[in-house]
Homo-oligomer: A and B are copies of this chain.
Amino acid sequence: MILINGQTESRIEVLDRGLQYGDGLFETLAYRNNKIEFLEQHLQRLQTDSQRLNISLSESGLTKIHQELDFVCQNLQDEAVIKLIVTRGVGGRGYFAGQDLSPTRIISSHTLPSYPQHFPQSGITVRFCQHRLSESAILAGIKHLNRLDQVLGRNEWTDKTIAEGLMFDQHDNLIEGTMSNIFLVNSGNLLTPKLNLSGVAGVIRATIIRLASENGLTVIEQTLSKTDLIEANEVFVCNSVNGIWPVNNIIDTQQSYSVGSITQQCQSWLSQAIK
Protein backbone atom coordinates (compact mmCIF):
# COMPACT_ATOMS: atom_id res chain seq x y z
CA MET A 1 0.00 0.00 0.00
CA ILE A 2 1.15 3.52 -0.78
CA LEU A 3 -0.45 6.69 0.58
CA ILE A 4 0.46 10.09 -0.84
CA ASN A 5 -0.82 12.96 1.30
CA GLY A 6 -3.39 10.55 2.69
CA GLN A 7 -4.64 9.23 -0.65
CA THR A 8 -4.10 5.70 -1.93
CA GLU A 9 -1.86 6.29 -4.91
CA SER A 10 1.20 4.73 -6.49
CA ARG A 11 2.58 7.72 -8.37
CA ILE A 12 3.78 11.21 -7.54
CA GLU A 13 4.11 14.41 -9.51
CA VAL A 14 7.24 14.54 -11.66
CA LEU A 15 7.67 18.12 -10.45
CA ASP A 16 7.89 17.00 -6.83
CA ARG A 17 11.23 18.19 -5.50
CA GLY A 18 11.86 14.76 -4.02
CA LEU A 19 12.45 13.49 -7.57
CA GLN A 20 13.90 16.67 -9.06
CA TYR A 21 16.59 17.23 -6.43
CA GLY A 22 16.35 14.54 -3.75
CA ASP A 23 14.92 17.41 -1.73
CA GLY A 24 13.43 15.52 1.18
CA LEU A 25 13.83 13.10 4.07
CA PHE A 26 12.83 9.56 4.92
CA GLU A 27 12.36 7.16 7.81
CA THR A 28 12.45 3.38 7.63
CA LEU A 29 10.12 1.89 10.24
CA ALA A 30 9.71 -1.66 11.48
CA TYR A 31 6.11 -2.78 12.13
CA ARG A 32 6.11 -5.84 14.40
CA ASN A 33 3.79 -7.13 17.12
CA ASN A 34 1.11 -4.69 16.04
CA LYS A 35 3.15 -1.55 16.50
CA ILE A 36 5.74 0.64 14.83
CA GLU A 37 8.94 0.29 16.80
CA PHE A 38 10.46 3.52 18.12
CA LEU A 39 7.85 5.59 16.29
CA GLU A 40 8.23 8.69 18.44
CA GLN A 41 12.01 8.63 18.07
CA HIS A 42 11.68 8.37 14.29
CA LEU A 43 9.23 11.25 14.13
CA GLN A 44 11.43 13.31 16.44
CA ARG A 45 14.38 12.71 14.12
CA LEU A 46 12.21 13.60 11.12
CA GLN A 47 11.30 16.90 12.78
CA THR A 48 14.91 17.70 13.66
CA ASP A 49 16.12 16.86 10.16
CA SER A 50 13.30 18.84 8.51
CA GLN A 51 14.34 21.88 10.54
CA ARG A 52 17.94 21.40 9.41
CA LEU A 53 16.80 21.39 5.76
CA ASN A 54 14.22 24.16 6.28
CA ILE A 55 11.41 21.85 5.20
CA SER A 56 8.29 23.30 6.81
CA LEU A 57 6.84 20.21 8.44
CA SER A 58 4.04 21.66 10.58
CA GLU A 59 2.25 20.26 13.63
CA SER A 60 -0.75 19.50 11.45
CA GLY A 61 1.55 17.74 8.98
CA LEU A 62 2.87 15.58 11.80
CA THR A 63 -0.66 14.83 12.98
CA LYS A 64 -1.56 13.69 9.47
CA ILE A 65 1.55 11.48 9.37
CA HIS A 66 0.38 9.82 12.61
CA GLN A 67 -3.10 9.26 11.18
CA GLU A 68 -1.77 7.96 7.88
CA LEU A 69 0.64 5.57 9.59
CA ASP A 70 -2.28 4.29 11.68
CA PHE A 71 -4.30 3.72 8.53
CA VAL A 72 -1.48 1.84 6.81
CA CYS A 73 -0.89 -0.32 9.91
CA GLN A 74 -4.59 -1.19 10.15
CA ASN A 75 -4.33 -2.66 6.67
CA LEU A 76 -1.26 -4.76 7.38
CA GLN A 77 -1.71 -8.50 7.79
CA ASP A 78 1.80 -9.17 8.95
CA GLU A 79 5.08 -7.69 10.02
CA ALA A 80 6.30 -5.09 7.56
CA VAL A 81 8.72 -2.33 6.74
CA ILE A 82 7.06 1.06 6.45
CA LYS A 83 8.91 3.77 4.58
CA LEU A 84 7.92 7.36 5.28
CA ILE A 85 9.18 10.01 2.86
CA VAL A 86 8.63 13.73 3.35
CA THR A 87 9.68 15.97 0.46
CA ARG A 88 9.77 19.77 0.34
CA GLY A 89 6.77 19.59 -2.01
CA VAL A 90 5.92 20.23 -5.64
CA GLY A 91 7.40 23.09 -7.60
CA GLY A 92 9.45 26.17 -7.09
CA ARG A 93 11.60 27.58 -9.88
CA GLY A 94 14.80 25.64 -10.29
CA TYR A 95 16.65 25.13 -7.04
CA PHE A 96 14.74 28.03 -5.46
CA ALA A 97 11.82 26.70 -3.45
CA GLY A 98 10.43 29.72 -1.62
CA GLN A 99 8.41 29.47 1.57
CA ASP A 100 5.02 28.53 0.15
CA LEU A 101 5.52 24.87 -0.65
CA SER A 102 3.52 22.25 1.17
CA PRO A 103 5.57 19.13 2.00
CA THR A 104 4.56 15.86 0.32
CA ARG A 105 3.97 12.88 2.63
CA ILE A 106 4.56 9.44 1.10
CA ILE A 107 3.99 6.31 3.16
CA SER A 108 4.57 2.86 1.70
CA SER A 109 4.52 -0.60 3.25
CA HIS A 110 6.78 -3.45 2.18
CA THR A 111 7.41 -7.04 3.21
CA LEU A 112 10.29 -7.46 5.63
CA PRO A 113 13.57 -8.35 3.87
CA SER A 114 14.25 -12.09 4.00
CA TYR A 115 17.56 -12.24 5.83
CA PRO A 116 18.47 -15.50 7.59
CA GLN A 117 16.88 -15.56 11.04
CA HIS A 118 20.14 -16.58 12.71
CA PHE A 119 21.98 -13.32 11.87
CA PRO A 120 21.25 -11.67 15.27
CA GLN A 121 22.55 -14.72 17.14
CA SER A 122 25.37 -16.04 14.99
CA GLY A 123 26.45 -12.86 13.24
CA ILE A 124 27.23 -11.81 9.69
CA THR A 125 30.01 -11.50 7.15
CA VAL A 126 30.76 -8.00 5.89
CA ARG A 127 33.07 -6.43 3.31
CA PHE A 128 34.62 -3.03 2.79
CA CYS A 129 33.00 -0.81 0.14
CA GLN A 130 35.38 0.86 -2.28
CA HIS A 131 33.00 3.77 -2.71
CA ARG A 132 33.75 6.55 -0.24
CA LEU A 133 31.03 8.58 1.48
CA SER A 134 30.69 12.28 0.62
CA GLU A 135 31.72 14.74 3.30
CA SER A 136 29.55 17.67 4.34
CA ALA A 137 29.38 19.22 7.80
CA ILE A 138 25.86 20.53 7.16
CA LEU A 139 24.33 17.38 5.68
CA ALA A 140 26.09 14.86 7.95
CA GLY A 141 23.74 12.82 10.09
CA ILE A 142 20.57 13.78 8.19
CA LYS A 143 18.46 10.97 6.72
CA HIS A 144 17.85 12.84 3.48
CA LEU A 145 16.97 11.55 0.02
CA ASN A 146 20.44 12.17 -1.49
CA ARG A 147 21.53 8.57 -1.17
CA LEU A 148 23.74 7.91 -4.19
CA ASP A 149 26.62 7.06 -1.86
CA GLN A 150 24.67 4.20 -0.32
CA VAL A 151 23.41 3.03 -3.72
CA LEU A 152 26.93 2.90 -5.15
CA GLY A 153 28.31 1.24 -2.03
CA ARG A 154 25.59 -1.40 -1.87
CA ASN A 155 25.81 -2.25 -5.56
CA GLU A 156 29.47 -3.25 -5.36
CA TRP A 157 28.56 -6.84 -4.44
CA THR A 158 25.92 -9.44 -5.25
CA ASP A 159 27.16 -12.32 -3.08
CA LYS A 160 24.24 -12.98 -0.71
CA THR A 161 26.51 -14.42 1.95
CA ILE A 162 27.81 -10.88 2.50
CA ALA A 163 25.18 -9.16 4.60
CA GLU A 164 26.56 -5.64 4.74
CA GLY A 165 29.28 -3.38 3.35
CA LEU A 166 31.25 -1.07 5.62
CA MET A 167 31.70 2.45 4.31
CA PHE A 168 34.54 4.91 4.84
CA ASP A 169 34.70 8.64 4.18
CA GLN A 170 37.01 10.56 1.84
CA HIS A 171 39.76 10.29 4.47
CA ASP A 172 39.43 6.53 5.09
CA ASN A 173 37.62 6.96 8.39
CA LEU A 174 35.12 4.23 9.19
CA ILE A 175 31.59 5.73 9.18
CA GLU A 176 28.81 3.13 8.87
CA GLY A 177 27.35 0.28 6.84
CA THR A 178 25.39 0.91 3.65
CA MET A 179 22.13 0.48 5.58
CA SER A 180 23.25 0.46 9.21
CA ASN A 181 25.35 2.17 11.85
CA ILE A 182 28.33 0.46 13.42
CA PHE A 183 29.68 -0.03 16.94
CA LEU A 184 33.00 -1.46 18.10
CA VAL A 185 33.80 -2.81 21.55
CA ASN A 186 37.31 -2.23 22.83
CA SER A 187 38.47 -2.69 26.44
CA GLY A 188 34.87 -2.83 27.55
CA ASN A 189 33.97 0.53 25.97
CA LEU A 190 31.47 1.04 23.18
CA LEU A 191 32.91 3.06 20.28
CA THR A 192 30.97 4.44 17.34
CA PRO A 193 32.03 6.82 14.56
CA LYS A 194 31.46 10.54 15.00
CA LEU A 195 29.04 11.62 12.30
CA ASN A 196 30.15 15.22 11.96
CA LEU A 197 31.11 14.99 8.26
CA SER A 198 29.37 11.88 6.88
CA GLY A 199 26.84 9.24 7.74
CA VAL A 200 23.26 8.88 8.90
CA ALA A 201 22.52 9.32 12.60
CA GLY A 202 20.22 6.33 12.98
CA VAL A 203 17.44 5.99 15.54
CA ILE A 204 18.76 2.62 16.73
CA ARG A 205 22.29 4.06 17.00
CA ALA A 206 20.94 6.84 19.25
CA THR A 207 18.91 4.32 21.24
CA ILE A 208 21.92 2.06 21.82
CA ILE A 209 24.02 5.04 22.90
CA ARG A 210 21.31 6.03 25.37
CA LEU A 211 20.66 2.54 26.73
CA ALA A 212 24.34 1.69 27.11
CA SER A 213 25.06 4.97 28.89
CA GLU A 214 22.08 4.50 31.21
CA ASN A 215 23.41 1.05 32.05
CA GLY A 216 26.86 2.29 32.96
CA LEU A 217 28.78 1.48 29.78
CA THR A 218 31.19 4.10 28.50
CA VAL A 219 30.12 5.13 24.98
CA ILE A 220 32.55 7.17 22.91
CA GLU A 221 31.71 8.86 19.60
CA GLN A 222 35.05 9.37 17.88
CA THR A 223 36.98 9.20 14.64
CA LEU A 224 37.57 5.51 13.85
CA SER A 225 39.83 3.82 11.32
CA LYS A 226 40.50 0.37 9.92
CA THR A 227 43.05 -0.03 12.70
CA ASP A 228 40.32 0.47 15.29
CA LEU A 229 38.33 -2.28 13.56
CA ILE A 230 41.34 -4.59 13.70
CA GLU A 231 41.89 -3.87 17.39
CA ALA A 232 38.23 -4.25 18.35
CA ASN A 233 37.06 -7.18 20.50
CA GLU A 234 33.51 -7.08 19.19
CA VAL A 235 31.84 -5.38 16.23
CA PHE A 236 28.15 -4.99 15.44
CA VAL A 237 25.93 -3.10 13.02
CA CYS A 238 22.38 -1.94 13.69
CA ASN A 239 19.32 -0.46 12.05
CA SER A 240 15.58 -0.18 12.63
CA VAL A 241 14.58 -3.19 10.57
CA ASN A 242 17.26 -5.70 11.56
CA GLY A 243 18.08 -4.59 15.10
CA ILE A 244 21.62 -5.57 16.03
CA TRP A 245 23.69 -7.90 13.88
CA PRO A 246 27.06 -9.01 15.31
CA VAL A 247 29.87 -8.94 12.76
CA ASN A 248 31.68 -12.30 12.50
CA ASN A 249 33.95 -11.85 9.56
CA ILE A 250 35.41 -9.04 7.52
CA ILE A 251 36.26 -10.37 4.07
CA ASP A 252 38.91 -7.77 3.29
CA THR A 253 41.00 -8.19 6.42
CA GLN A 254 40.16 -11.89 6.88
CA GLN A 255 39.46 -10.96 10.47
CA SER A 256 37.01 -12.89 12.65
CA TYR A 257 35.15 -11.83 15.76
CA SER A 258 33.09 -13.93 18.11
CA VAL A 259 29.69 -12.72 19.25
CA GLY A 260 30.68 -10.97 22.45
CA SER A 261 28.93 -10.32 25.73
CA ILE A 262 28.60 -6.57 25.27
CA THR A 263 26.98 -7.06 21.86
CA GLN A 264 24.53 -9.53 23.46
CA GLN A 265 23.91 -7.09 26.29
CA CYS A 266 23.06 -4.34 23.79
CA GLN A 267 20.70 -6.73 21.99
CA SER A 268 19.00 -7.46 25.26
CA TRP A 269 18.62 -3.78 26.19
CA LEU A 270 17.25 -3.04 22.73
CA SER A 271 14.71 -5.88 22.92
CA GLN A 272 13.48 -4.63 26.28
CA ALA A 273 13.20 -1.07 24.96
CA ILE A 274 10.96 -2.28 22.13
CA LYS A 275 8.54 -4.06 24.46
The chain A residues found within 8 Å of chain B, CB to CB, are: 2, 4, 9-23, 53-54, 85, 88, 93-98, 106, 108, 113, 131-139, 144-155, 158, 170, 178-179, 197
Contact = CB atoms under 8 A, between A and B. Distances in A.
Nearest to A96: B154
B14 A106 contact: yes
Nearest to A13: B11
Given A21-B22, A139-B149, A144-B148, 14 more contacts: A11-B11, A12-B19, A19-B85, A19-B106, A20-B145, A21-B151, A22-B146, A95-B147, A95-B154, A96-B155, A97-B151, A132-B137, A132-B138, A146-B147
A15 B1 CA distance: 12
Given A21-B150, A134-B139, A10 B10 contact: no
A131 B135 contact: no
Q: Which of A10, A14, A108, A154 has the most CB of B within 10 A?
A: A14
A175 to B, nearest CB: 13
A23 B97 contact: no
A197 B171 CA distance: 12
Contacts of A133: 136
Nearest to A147: B21
Contact of A148 (B93, B96, B139): B139
Given A10-B13, A19-B19, A21-B148, A135 B95 contact: no
Contacts of A95: 147, 150-151, 153-155, 178-179
Contacts of A131: 138
Contact of A14 (B12, B93, B148, B155): B12
Given A12-B11, A14-B4, A113 B138 contact: no
A271 B9 CA distance: 46
A66 to B, nearest CB: 20
A170 B135 contact: yes
Nearest to A52: B152
A262 B100 CA distance: 41
Given A12-B14, A13-B10, A154-B94, A23 B135 contact: no
Contacts of A137: 132, 170
A19 B11 CA distance: 10
29 contacts: A9-B14, A10-B13, A11-B11, A11-B12, A12-B12, A15-B108, A18-B19, A19-B106, A21-B147, A21-B151, A22-B22, A22-B148, A53-B148, A93-B113, A94-B179, A95-B150, A95-B154, A96-B154, A96-B155, A98-B158, A132-B137, A132-B138, A134-B136, A135-B135, A135-B170, A136-B170, A139-B149, A146-B148, A170-B197
